[in-house]
Structure 1
Amino acid sequence: MTRFEAPLSRAVSLRQEIVALDALPLSEAIRSRQLSCREVMLAYLEQIERYNPEVNALVSLRPAEDLLAEADDRDRQLARGHWLGWMHGMPQAVKDLAACKGLPTSMGSPLFAGQVARHDAIAVSRVREAGAVFIGKSNVPEFGLGSQSYNNVFGTTGNAYDPTLCAGGSSGGAAAALALRLLPVADGSDMMGSLRNPAAFNNVYGLRPSQGRVPFGPTPELFVQQLATEGPMGRSVADVAALLRTQAGAHRAAPLALAGTADLIGPLQRDFAGTRIGWLGDLGGHLPMEPGLLGLCEGALEDFRALGCEVEPCLPAYDPERLWRCWLVHRQWLVAGLLAPACADPASRAQLKPEAVWEVESGLGLGAADVYRASVDRSDWYRAVEQLFERYDFLLLPSAQVFPFDARLHWPRAIAGRDMDTYHRWMEVVIGATLAGIPAMSVPVGFNPSGQPMGLQIMGPAQADLAVLQLAHAHEQLTQWVRNCPPPLLRDAR
């Protein structure tokens, strides 16, 4: 007799306890056989059935009977003493930009709707090897373009704290699913804040690792693609660190990947007395911010001072408008390379969202000299950031420039009275870490009076991923925003 054959009230209570566990405690409960993989799968399937219709975070879900059969296989493996890894039997939904063998990889595009992957992306294969059971995909904007997770294949993902609001993107489905306990931990990817903005919008943690930390691909452009990176999200910093260690490490198919994971091994607990932190704020007034957002983030600086850190305002010796122009060239060039064939065919072009067409047309207008100059600009930006790290151990700035907005709105047209000249200008705050290739983690810092979450980016020097995780962990132990402030939907259920 299993625990789920007990009276209904006890079974419901157990399922709620299961999904409330962070990923690492859940892993230990499975490994020690305090919980069966079937019990865990049943608990998550019930949670998904109850809350996913509210937010549309998970898509392409596999049949429950298939998932339970796979969970039973994992239980039989444990009974034989065969433990695959820390994700053994844990439900996992892959971001719908990454290939997962046997599951559709639609990328939010009608052009690829229902296309079933024949292989795993590198990071996905490592999660599979660690024992995860893939239950489906997490929703994204079309081709991951824009920090609003809507598309014409699956629809819009709503915010975990208010489903009528935007969940962020492009890992919006992953973040909303995490916050509502539909997944224990989640993967994502980040070109323009896609692991950071949705984490901030849904009161969870998202880490953009150092460039090369997690092998990207397989991809046709092995040496050109140096903006996007795979990475982890979680409800705790410890879970994020665990998934990062699974995803990271050299791979023969990714020649620019960082070798080894030894520098990710170490305790998260650390003394931060005397740590020097630079506060970038709104870059000296360059970045428009929704009223109340900057003040909320500035208030969170006191948390870091409470940890013993010394925090002071600073600015890079670099023109932020030059950085934006550099960003446009790099992004448009890469997107044009990906989508130009689709744009050239009138039938497929008609199915692309206008922002994708704009990116392609802009990219096709670039010349080799434009790309070279942008590369020099990017190199100069890295050197300017490195100069800041000669004085500071970490840099901080907001994770977004607006709070979660109406999910029916494709993108904010203005911030604080300043018009946005592109569909992604409202997320300019995240491009600095991307172009420098440095680790940046969004940590929750609270809510505005309307109950909308916000986060703060912790940025460290190149390859200092563990240090960023350690500071985020210290902040988490002090504030406990995720644990103490679950989404209202979950509070109402209780």
Structure 2
Amino acid sequence: MESIVFKSAIEILSLIHSGKVSSKEVLQAFLEQIEKYQPKINAITDLKDREVLLQEAEQKDQMLKKGELMGPLHGLPMTVKDAFNVKGLISSLGIPSLRKNVAKEDAVLVQKLRNAGAIIMGKTNLPLFSIDWQTTNSWFGQTNNPYNTEYVAGGSSGGSAAALAMGFTPLELGSDAGGSIRVPAHFCGVCGIRPTEQTLSNRGQFLAPGKPQGQRQITVAGPMARTVDDLILAMSVLTQQPEISEIYPVDFNRSGWDKSPLKIAYSKTMYGLEVQDDYQDLISNFLTKIKSAGHSIQEDQPEYDADLAYRINGRFMGFEVSSGSPMPPFITGIFMFLFLLIKYRDIHWARSTYRGIRMSPNMHLRTAEVKEKIGDQFIDFFNHYDLWITPVASITAFKHQKAGKPFLVNGKKVAYADALGRFNFDTSIGGHPVVVIPIGMSKNGLPAGISLHGRKWEDKKLLEIAKEFQEQFTNGFIIPEM
């Protein structure tokens, strides 16, 4: 039963549904794994009462004996990021004043998971304000990388990625505005998808008591797992359309890949930034394998104003942050400007976020128009290519450090936000799906991933390509040695 915590969600579900193992036994295995390694990893922020969870698992087992199946996730224990409200559990949302806030209802996506039969065990950690590529805050503490606890797990879905890598959960629900799914997946050797923008509901994500629902633009919810197969399973559940108005009615199964040769573009880097040598070697080896399989590959990238895209991302992030802030917009604007400038040493991010918080209705509409035009440039690019491959960041996971401290990459100094945000901020503006899969281990024994970008609304096709790539050209998920 020990190894079951590292099996895929599909494998675990097959065992449960066939009666070879009970949901209760699976749950107990995960709870034991959490109890054993949580003190070292610190990925879990709140956990349901053990007896309540065991009763729920027993109920799921009794239903199966009667031939009753709630859905494809029936009996599967899992966790979700602290950004999502889960009834009865603490939902801090990364905000200090909400560190004891207990949610009164589930987020829409959490309810979908429950409706499909999942058992929500608990919540996973995120950074202060959910803004950083390392996961730490003053109330839940620091999350560590399972492959080396001296290193970060990424952020902001760092608790999600660490929980997957350490066998605390077989499936996770994360979110991404500027790499918050992609970077942790890369750092922890797991898979994640930032779906096409507006595919999944954000209702109940970053929803503070008494505040309007924010995170309606740029921030995208998405599943994380150890295999792409599990991402496909999760997306099939999460894209089932609820009776709410804001979700675009696009069938997840509308697209697919017929295994025909692909026309692929790749970028060695972005913004001309340095990429860690051994990470670049892993990428080159990965591309060589793809080419040897008969796919066409050439170096190219979308034609868009990357600096403008970076600023637009900051503006929308600022606008969304202000909706959940307990302070007036003017005070929130000054606070966030100083926070980002002092902590991350990025004047462009700080200034654009401040402008986003202070946006007038006219400026908001103009910013949305610019975002749409940049999105059109990405659409045009994907009319010529099936896939675009990019590094996830300049580096693999780094040692715990003060946020904002520059990195030394190949002997050259790279700014903190540049090494991480520049690979993810502007590609968020395109609104297209991005999948990260692990491609190997760096020289320091830490995982490395790659970003696979696809055409908007063709998430299923992108995932099918990513599945083939993971199975054919990588060693897949590698269990950490603890």
TM-score (norm 2): 0.89
Partner of 2:225: 234
Is contact 1:397-1:456 (8 Å) kept? Answer: yes
| 1:4 corresponding residue in structure 2 | none
**Mapped pair 1:488 → 2:475:** no
Determine whether 1:88 maps to 2:81.
Answer: no
Residue 386 to residue 182, structure 1, CA distance change in 2 (3 Å): same
Match of 1:440, as an amino acid? V
Contact 2:265 2:298 (8 Å CA) reproduced? yes
Letter in 2 for 1:318: Y
Partner of 1:354 in structure 2? 339
**1:392 corresponds to which of 361, 364, 385:** 385
Counterpart residue type for residue 471 of structure 1: I
| TM-superposed deviation, 1:303 | 2.5
Q: In the alignment, residue 168 of structure 1 is paired with which amino acid? A: G
Does residue 380 (structure 1) correspond to residue 358 (structure 2)? The answer is no
Correspondence for 2:120: 134
Secondary structure of the 1:277 match is strand
Secondary structure (helix, strand or coil) at the match of 1:271 reads coil
Distance apart, 1:70 and its partner CA: 1.9
Question: What letter matches 2:339 in structure 1?
Answer: P
| Mapping 1:292-331, distance limit 5 Å | 292-331=278-317
Output the CA distance in 2 between the equivalents of 1:289 and 1:197. Answer: 14
Q: What is the aligned counterpart of 1:468 among 450, 462, 469? A: 462
Q: Which residue number in structure 2 is paired with residue 9 of structure 1?
A: none
Q: Is the 8 A contact 1:145 1:356 kept in 2?
A: no
Q: How do residues 202-217 of structure 1 correspond to structure 2 at under 5 angstroms? A: 202-217=188-203
Q: Does 1:63 align with 2:49?
A: yes
Secondary structure at 1:317 match in 2:
coil
RMSD across aligned positions (CA): 2.8
Give the stretch that moved more between structures: 171-180 or 84-93.
Answer: 84-93
Q: CA deviation at 1:380?
A: 2.4
The alpha-carbon distance between structure 1 residues 342 and 154, as it changes in their structure 2 partners (threshold 3 A), is farther
Who is 2:448 aligned against?
454
Give the superposition deviation at 1:162: 0.9
Q: Secondary structure at the match of 2:70?
A: coil
1:404 and 2:397 correspond: yes
> How do residues 219-258 of structure 1 correspond to structure 2 at under 5 angstroms?
225-258=216-249
> 2:435 — aligned with what?
441
Measured against aligned partners, the alpha-carbon deviations of 1:76-116 in whole angstroms (never above 9, x if no partner) come to 22222222122222211111000111111112332101211
Secondary structure (helix, strand or coil) at the match of 2:96 reads coil
Q: Displacement of 1:250 after TM fit?
A: 3.0
Of 113, 127, 151, 1:165 maps to: 151
User: 3-state DSSP class of the match of 1:42?
Assistant: helix
Q: How does 1:168-179 map to 2 (within 5 A)?
A: 168-179=154-165
Structure 2 residue aligned with 1:6: none
In 1, are the aligned partners of 2:81 and 2:173 still within 8 Å (CA)?
A: yes
Given the superposition, is the C-alpha separation of residues 178 and 466 from structure 1 closer, same or farther in structure 2, using an over 3 Å criterion? Answer: same
Shift of 1:279: 0.6
> Which letter does structure 1 place at the counterpart of 2:376?
R
Percent of counterpart pairs with the same letter? 27
Query: Structure 1 unaligned runs (5+)?
Result: 1-14, 490-494
The alignment status of 1:40 with 2:40, answered yes or no, reads: no
Does structure 1 residue 271 correspond to structure 2 residue 227?
A: no
User: Structure 1 residues 424, 143: CA separation in 2 closer, same or farther (over 3 Å shift)?
Assistant: farther
Equivalent AA in structure 2 for residue 233 of structure 1: M
Determine whether 1:154 maps to 2:140. yes
Structure 2 SS opposite 1:375: helix
Structure 1 residues 246-255 or 470-479, which shifts more?
Answer: 246-255
Contact 2:213–2:323, Cα closer than 8 Å, also in 1: no
TM-score, length basis structure 1:
0.87
State the 1:20 CA deviation. 2.8
Local SS of the residue matching 1:215: coil
Q: How many residues align?
A: 466
Match of 1:282 in 2: 269
How far is 1:209 from its partner?
0.6
1:423-453, CA deviations, whole angstroms, 9 ceiling, x for partnerless residues? 5763210124311110100011112211121
1:30 to partner: Cα distance: 0.7
Does 2:471 match 1:477? Answer: yes
Alignment partners' CA distance in 2, 1:199 and 1:353:
29
Please say which of residues 36-45 and 212-221 is displaced more in the overlay: 212-221
- Cα deviation digits, residues 156-211 of structure 1 (max 9, x gap): 11112111111011111111111111111111111111111111111110001111
Shift of 1:330: 2.2
Rounded Cα–Cα distance in structure 2 between residues aligned with 1:373 and 1:412:
34
CA pair 366-288 structure 1, distance change in 2 beyond 3 A: farther
1:441 is paired with a residue of what secondary structure? strand
2:101 pairs with 1:115: yes
Deviation at 1:345, TM superposition (A): 7.7
3-state SS in 2 of match to 1:183: coil
Give SS of 2:149's match: coil
Q: 1:223 to 1:66 in 2, by over 3 A?
A: closer
What one-letter code is carried by the residue in structure 1 that aligns with 2:452? I
How far 1:37 moved relative to its partner?
1.3
> 1:128-183, CA deviations, whole angstroms, 9 ceiling, x for partnerless residues?
11111121101111232122111111011111211111101111111111111111
Partner AA of 1:439 in structure 2: P
Q: Is the 8 A contact 2:286 2:473 kept in 1?
A: no
Report the alpha carbon displacement of residue 313 of structure 1 after superposing the two structures with TM.
0.2
2:264 and 2:297 in contact (8 A); partners too: yes
